[in-house]
Each structure stands twice: as structure tokens, then as C-alpha cells.
Structure 1
Amino acid sequence: QIVFVLSSALNPGNEEMGEHLVKHGDGVKDIAFEVEDCDFIVQKAKERGAVVVKEPWVEEDKFGKVKFAVIQTYGDTTHTLIEKLNYKGLFLPGYHPPLFKDPLLPKLPSAKLSFIDHVVGNQPDLQMVPVADWYQKNLLFHRFWSVDDKQLHTEFSALRSIVVTNYEETIKMPINEPALGKKKSQIQEYVDYYGGAGVQHIALNTSDIISAITNLKQRGMQFMDVPSSYYQILRERLKTAKIKVKENIDKLAELKILVDFDEKGYLLQIFTKPVQDRPTVFLEVIQRHNHQGFGAGNFKSLFEAIEMDQDARGNLTVLEPNGET
């Protein structure tokens, strides 16, 4: 299930929302987790030093009750914990079906997106490990995957990443930080424009990425470009690979879909352009075939594509030895 809750101030003078918009622009304020025992999680998180923004409370309507709590994570981002107490409503108490149904929406092709695969958080330099540790200590997550700047780099820039996940491995949270390179990393660009740590992108899982991207493009979604040389190199790499990609490579090239693989499986992924004015939050569409990675093999081509956009904005600037532009 994929639910985006879009919020705006109803009246002037909403300080919390106003300050957030001035500092960050449009972005992700909260990542909600549905939980089985809200009180237990909040109590354990408090004992371990987490900041509880709002203690557990209950809301109800004719469909039942839901318990909520809010805890602080990286930057100004929060996690709302949601425990449904036999709630049977459409979404949450207080929400209703839309009063107006857009007559154009039924005419658009289906997006074919199934669930949120992962949510990526960008951190300032040297903040990745403390944030990953926060999830392990306060929410009892564990490390699932990690790469360093020796693996993830281009000619100009680099990053480090740690992925943390819950016990059942149903929630995955990659945590990125920039690494010093010749020019400003796209992670640093994000931090500069967002005004600190925040959600870089949300990955949406599909079981049919070719149909999904074909339809999303028809609906007007814009995606990152990928150099044609990527697919020439991909074909050569696949000749000696132990796995076989079922999808037609020509079709993947036409749609600019990236492929990453190991000896056991592969994944297909594509990234949108930023979804608002600032070069901050974007979306990913991903399809997995027995592959639980996050596209490390695509890093170079993806970063080079993002660097082309970054250069067009005038932000792919040369760094001095001390890291200043």
C-alpha cells in the first residue's frame, strides 16, 4: 500500500508549517509506521534517549479507534507510530472519501505501483553512522546493507550509505552521507538546498516496471536521463553474468530503466526528476527479481546522470582541499 498525505496550512500564521516550508521547501515531514504496540515502542525509545514529540493518544470515529505517537528522527523529520485498534475505516479517523472525483483520472493509465520499498534519508557529513545507530538503539532496527565511498564514486563525487531495517525486514531505511570528492556531491547539494538532513527519495515497488514507467510517462512524470553508453556496457556485462534478465534490453533502454545484478538475481530501477522546485526530494520506481540490494552497481551511471542535471543548475562546483566551494 502507498499513501501520501499532503498537508497545507488552512489559516495564516501556522508557525510550524510556515517555518518548515521556508527552511526546507516542499518535502517529507513525517514517515509513518504501522505498529502492533505503540505504547511499548514509545516506552523503549524513551528509555534509550529518543525524543518523543507527542506522547501516545487515541482518535476515533464511527469506524473504530487508532492510537498514535510521534518521535523525532533525523533533521526535522518525524515518525508517526500508528496502531489500529480494530479500525475498519478507509484510512484514519477524520478522513473521508473525496467530495469531488476528477473526471480525468479514470481516463489515465494505471500506475501499477504496489508498496513503498524503501525511504532514503540524506545526512550532512559524518552524521550517517549516528543516525543508523539511532534506529538500531531506539527502534531496534538492524543493519541490512552498507557501501562506502570506495565503492560508490564517480570522477567527481562520492557517497557512503548504510541501510537499516526492522526485525521483520519489511521497513528499509537507507541512510546516506556525502564523501569528499573533486566537486560537490549530489548528497551535499541536497543538504544545502533542504537546509539539513531529510528524506532524499521514496522508492515505490512494482511487479511490472515496463508497464509502470510507460504509463507514468503517459501521465506526465519526468525521469532522469541515462546515457546510451550505459546499455552498451550493460549488454557486455550480461554476456558473462550468471543470471538472465527476462525483460527486453532494448525496451529498458528506450525507457531509461537501470539494471543491477549479482549472481543470484537482479533489480530494475528508475528515478524521477525532483518533484518540487528545489533539487531535493524525488521518487524511484523499483522491481526486484531475487535481489535485495539498492542499485550499488548503478551508482556511477545514476550519479553521472544526476551530475548532468546538477551541472545544468550550476551546482557541480569544484571543491577546495578543505571541502569549500
Structure 2
Amino acid sequence: METKEIKKIFAAAEDFLPINGTDFIELYVGNAKQAAHYYKTAFGFQSLAHSGLETGNQNYDSYVLVQDKIRLVLTSPLKAGTPVGKHIDQHGDGVKAIALWVDDATYSYQETVKRGAKSYLKPETRKDKHGEVVVAAIHTYGETIHYFIERKNYQGVFLPGYERWETSYQPAPTGLKYVDHMVGNVGWGEMNQWVDFYARVMGFAQLISFDDKDISTDYTALMSKVMSNGNGRIKFPINEPAEGKKKSQIEEYLDFYGGPGVQHIAVATDNIIETVTAMQSRGVEFLNVPSSYYDTVLDRVGSIDEDLEPLKQLGILIDRDDEGYLLQIFTKPVESRPTVFFEIIQRKGAQSFGKGNFKALFEAIEREQELRGTL
């Protein structure tokens, strides 16, 4: 990756780090080898790098997958009683780390800790024959951490300690391009605490706020605020539960995950119809919305470039803001616990997050909760 000047688009963000983009997302999983096969087969990721017994790593087994600008790291313990294993026991498979690509990891660490972040990993330089990477990390909500990754002096495949993962099985990509945003679920009354954290500690700005009047159905509700860095490449909506007649999706997540954590990863595509068609054909399950949603959707959002029928057949939702429109769809949870899921999003100018779809989406989630007996 080459560093280049990145335009600041949100003036309210102090943006003192700055952040170039998402470097990788690390999930702790029960069986990294099998999880890697799933994300390759179902999502179209490609093999990139591996760290494990074969590379001299006696503690954990990690597989790195790539699709365009998205890197997933899937990590499993090799022995009992490890921190990785304890995390999986507590939370199930889930996101441990959101790694941020920065020009200066030491500066990023020092500035965030100075502003109140709790240290997870002091800056350290990791080297191999391909150069060096500076890595540091801070704690965020729950047991989630942010790595700061400085790789301007590194030419290797991923990080020191990893070797290229060569495999004959390389399914075709599905058109996923980059991480659009990542959503964190936090506990009752904790949303503003973490909104303040991202503003004060990391220099982010609040873009949008949704209260329980915006995000509610007849039964459940939640509140959400969206934080972004200055260049808009890192967006973190933060959700908390709100009072409703029944248990909300956020409460269900907190119960099964065992506390706050990353709820979903939104990944962008340039052609959502092709991407979702490919993913469905490979076995990815998406939430279903009633066909009646499409009877009036164009009255609400106006004209769009796409034919409505394929969107209806796939269950893709549509919303519009002042900048344009977006197309989005959500997978069912990809783990045994009803926790982590993915969003596929195509932006046609819109910078928002699908407020007009909240009711239809949450009713779809409630139908799944009812099947699970957790509503």
C-alpha cells in the first residue's frame, strides 16, 4: 500500500491521526482452517497468507484472506487455556480486532492513549527479510481492540511471521470491494460513552444520530449514532438497546455474545445484483423481506438505474438521501450464535445508512428472532 494525500471531507472531525483505511479485520474462530474455506467458497475471498505450526508459530493458527481491498484474518488457538480460546469460549466466533492503516503507528498510539485510550499493545517493530512493520493497539468497547498498522517499510505478503499461503483452491471473487462501515453493539446507556470515545480519543465526528423513534417496530427498538474519521474511510455506527415490548436484536446480540462487540461488517460492491446472486448461489443466506415492500418502494425513493424485479427476487433494499440512493442487503448470522452478520451495500451517491429501510429490516430480523425463540 502506498500512502497518498487523502482529502478530509468531514470538517467536524479533528482527525489528528490520520487513518488511511481499514488494514484488516481479525476474527477469533473455533476452526480457522474451516472458516477460511467458508469465506473463500461462500464470499469469494482468496488465499493470501498463513501463520501456524508450519511457520514456527506454536500458539495460534491464522489464515489471511483477501478480496480487493478487504483483508480478513481468521485465528484459532493451538492449545487450551489461551487468550484466543477464552475469547471464543466467552463470545463464540467474532471480531477481535479492527486494524487501522496509519502512517505512524507510534504517534497514533501515543496520541490516543494521551487522550484516554487504554493501552492493549505498546508500539513494537516486527521484522523479517521483507522489511519491518510497526504495530500498536488500544482497547475499545467490550474486548474489541484497534490495531494501528504502519507498513510503509514492508514489502512482504502481510505481516512478519506470516508466509504466503499457496493453494490450488481459489474460487472466483464475488465483487466485494472494501469495508464500508462496521457496527458496534454496546450495552444499555453506553452509546454516548463510546461516541465520546471516538470523538475525544480518535478525532472522529458524529455524522448521523438515530433514536428509538427512527429505529423501531411494534415490538423492539434501538438507538444508534454514526462516527466517522475525517476522510470518511472509517465509519463506526454505535448501537445500544432501547425499551420495547420485546427483546431487541441488540439485546439478543449482547446476551449471546456475552457483552459489547462488533455486530456486522458492511462491505461495498459496484454491482450488488451480481454480488448477491453469486453469494446466494454459493449458499449464503440473506434476510427475507415481504414482497409487499416493493409495491411502494419507488414511490418513496424515486427512479433508480436498476430494474426492480431482480432486486425484488434477491430481497435487496433501496433507500435515498440528498446525495443519491443506495442498495443494501443483510446476511443472516454467519455463526452458530445469533451475533455477527454481514451487510452488502452499493452506494449510488448516497452517504447515509438506509434509514428508510429500518422498519422492514428490523421486522425481518424479528421474524428470525421468533424462529429462534429469542424475541
> Fold match, TM over 0.5?
yes
1:134-184 CA distance string (max 9 Å, x none): 111111111122111111111111111111111211100000011101111
Correspondence for 2:333 among 274, 298, 302:
274
Matched with 2:109 is 42
Counterparts of 1:139-218 in structure 2, within 5 Å, are 139-218=202-281
Supply the distance in 2 between the matched residues of 1:176 and 1:37 (Cα, whole angstroms): 30
Q: CA deviation at 1:30?
A: 0.7
SS at 2:318 equivalent = strand
What is the total number of aligned residue pairs between the two structures? 307
- Runs (5+) with no aligned partner, structure 1: 317-325
Change in 2 beyond 3 A, CA 1:131/1:63:
same
Query: Which residue does 1:89 correspond to in 2?
Result: 156
CA apart distance, 1:41? 1.6
Do structure 1's residue 32 and structure 2's residue 99 form an aligned pair?
yes
**Alpha-carbon distance in 1 for matches of 2:152, 2:295:** 53
Q: Name structure 2 gaps, 5 residues minimum.
A: 1-68
Q: Report the RMSD for the aligned CA atoms in angstroms.
A: 1.2
Q: Are 1:9 and 2:9 matched, yes or no?
A: no
Q: Distance in 2 between matches of 1:164 and 1:37?
A: 22
Matched, 1:256 2:256: no
Specify the alignment match of 2:118 in structure 1. 51
Identity level (%)? 49
Which secondary structure does the structure 2 equivalent of 1:144 belong to? strand
What's 2:297 paired with? 234
* Alignment check: 8 A CA contact 1:24 1:194 kept: yes
Answering whether residue 265 of structure 2 is matched by residue 265 of structure 1, we say no
Q: 1:19 aligns with which of 61, 78, 86?
A: 86
Amino acid at match of 1:281: V
What pairs with 1:40-119 in structure 2 (closer than 5 Å)? 40-102=107-169, 105-106=170-171, 109-119=172-182
In the superposition, the TM-score normalised over structure 2's length comes to 0.80
Counterpart Cα distance in 1 of 2:81 and 2:237: 35
Give distance in 1, aligned partners of 2:300 and 2:114: 50
Deviation at 1:18, TM superposition (A): 2.0
**TM-score normalised per structure 1:** 0.92
Given that 2:229 and 2:235 are in contact with CA atoms closer than 8 Å, whether structure 1 keeps it comes out as yes
Look up the equivalent residue of 1:197 and give its one-letter code. P
Paired residue secondary structure (1:5): strand
